[in-house]
Amino acid sequence: SMGCGPVWEAMTLSAMDQYRTLWDKEIGGAPPMMFNFMNNFYGMGGQPKGETMGFDVLARVGLGVNPEAMHAERVDGYNPLAVADAVGRKRKLGPWGQGPVLLQALSILKNFDLAAMDPNGPDFVHTVIEAIKLAYADREAYYGDPAHADIPLETLLSDAYGAERAKLISDTASTEQRPGRIPGHEHLADAAIERATREFDRNPEAAPQEPTMAHLSEKRGDTVHLDVIDQWGNMVAATPSGGWLQSSPVVPGLGFPLNSRAQMFWLDEGLPTSLAPGRRPRTTLTPTLAEKDGRGLVFGTPGGDQQDQWQLVWFLRFVHHGVDLQEGMDAPLFHSMHFQGSFYPRECKPGEMMIEPAVGEEAIEALRSRGHKVTVAEPWSVGRLTAALREPDGLLRAAATPRLMQAYAVGR
């Protein structure tokens, strides 16, 4: 995902009317702690609790003023993951995002003859949904900041592991959370299952659980995605996000919000996603680059936990069924809600899925007969995909979803 440079280069909150007003009225216009707190999830040092704000949780995050570190702090930019298989070479962000779930799902699905299935039919939808459940179960168990946790990615992305996971897919929908049990990491699988069944205290006044297209304030803002290919073949897929103030209210009297993605931490200790100083939250941001036979493809979408699901469905149809870029954007999409969500209130909805009605009533009823709890979405409401493709001869193609009439494909 896009993001580099010190925080103040990306988020000049002092320029926002609501912050300037709050500082002027409540703390005399001076925000002495804002930039430190905004940046603390990206490597700031620790400070004993009580010295700054007096909250236990902030001591665990690490609220220490360190101007030199703040100025030097940048996204690390390490090479994305890349795996090669029958459908080419895919590059995804590492496990501090959710990028590997798409790679895991592809590893599972290579064990099925997807090309023989109707890309809008119940067999295809069922198989893909079940693979998604397995991949996301592993996300909840094993993903986190690799700088602070031992992530068994080599195993998770291996052909052997994908083949074993594929054996769990039957003709009926699973309602269980089934993370893989990787030797030496079994306790993380057990912990993920426990969290999925845990009862949480709910705050009825809490903000919306994740970025949506809802117009909830005068200040417009949401996750966006863009794909760019230039005349020399340079390709970029970027998913900027993070300034979602509806779920990150300003702390009264202090003038700054909590990090939107901090809700993806757990207060349980010993997890890859445990709250700790300097640790990045496991985000949902996940742009994609794929390469094969001289063709280069960049694609992605906003959408929280749905990002890799919508991308997966579109990519499988493109690869296995020869669907054109735009035709794939226009085709009916679907996603699972079975696994534990990344955003408050972190709910699981076992067996539940959403699908657009254009697949047809017959397909929907066939899915229900297999045990899926199907919610039929409003027409043209699922997915926010865009993509750009470079052919071996240099020809450039692009496509954008018509949903909500917000995305465009432009060439010059």
Peptide bond into 122 cis (omega under 30): no
Long-range contacts of 198-201 (CB under 8 A, 24+ apart): 200/345, 200/346
- Is residue 352 helix, strand or coil? strand
Higher pLDDT, 36 or 366: 366
Rounded to the nearest integer, the mean pLDDT of the chain is 79
- Residue 70: name the closest of 111, 42, 101 by CA: 42
Which class does domain 81-199+283-405 fall in? alpha beta
Residue pair 273/284 in contact by the 8 Å Cβ criterion: no
Q: Measured between alpha carbons, how far is 341 from 140 in angstroms, rounded to an integer?
A: 9
Q: Measured between alpha carbons, how far is 386 from 85 in angstroms, rounded to an integer?
A: 23
Residue 101 has pLDDT above 60, yes or no: yes
The residue behind tokens 């119940």 is 122
| DSSP characters over 199-259 | -----TTPPPSS--S---SSS------EEEE-TT--EEEE------GGGSPBPTTT--BPP
Average pLDDT on 357-382 reads: 98
| pLDDT value of residue 75 | 43
Residue 229's Cβ-count burial label (10 Å; 0-12, 13-18, 19+) is: buried
Average pLDDT on 13-18 reads: 42
Residue 373 has pLDDT above 80, yes or no: yes
| DSSP characters over 252-296 | TTT--BPPGGGGG-BSSSSSTTB--TTPPP------EEEEETTEE
Q: Measured between alpha carbons, how far is 383 from 354 in angstroms, rounded to an integer?
A: 11
- Each residue of 220-236: pLDDT tens digit? 557 899 999 999 999 99
| pLDDT value of residue 255 | 80
For the chain, the domains span 81-199+283-405
- Residue 114: name the closest of 134, 130, 99 by CA: 130
Q: Measured between alpha carbons, how far is 407 from 384 in angstroms, rounded to an integer?
A: 8
**Two tokens at 197?**
């069944």
100-109 vs 159-166: helix axis angle to the nearest 10?
70
- Each residue of 309-365: pLDDT tens digit? 999 999 999 999 999 999 999 999 999 999 999 988 899 999 999 999 999 999 999
- Each residue of 282-308: pLDDT tens digit? 999 999 999 988 999 999 999 999 999
- DSSP letter for 1, please: -
Residue 17 has pLDDT above 80, yes or no: no
- Each residue of 121-152: pLDDT tens digit? 999 999 999 999 999 999 999 999 999 999 99
| pLDDT value of residue 204 | 60
Find the radius of gyration of the CA atoms of the chain.
22
Q: Measured between alpha carbons, how far is 376 from 335 in angstroms, rounded to an integer?
A: 11
With cut-offs at 50, 70 and 90, classify the pLDDT of residue 91: confident
